Amino acid sequence: MGEVFVFLNRSPTHVKLLHWEKGGFVLYYKRLESGTFLAPHTKQRVVLE
């Protein structure tokens, strides 16, 4: 399936996911109207398998 790259803004109220499919890159975007996403508490690269 490949890698999925996850990007959060500083708040974290917006999330973007980027991955490659047959035809090119696909970008998913989600914005929360209230609340925040839970981000990992690390300054290192996080790899989920």
Note the pLDDT tens digit of each residue in 24-49: 999 999 988 888 888 776 666 666 55
Distance CA 5, CA 33 (A): 23
Distances (CA, A) of 13 to 2, 3, 6, 42: 26, 23, 13, 18
pLDDT of residue 13: 86
Q: Whole-structure pTM over 0.85, yes or no?
A: no
pLDDT of residue 49: 58
Distance CA 15, CA 38 (A): 11
pLDDT of residue 48: 58
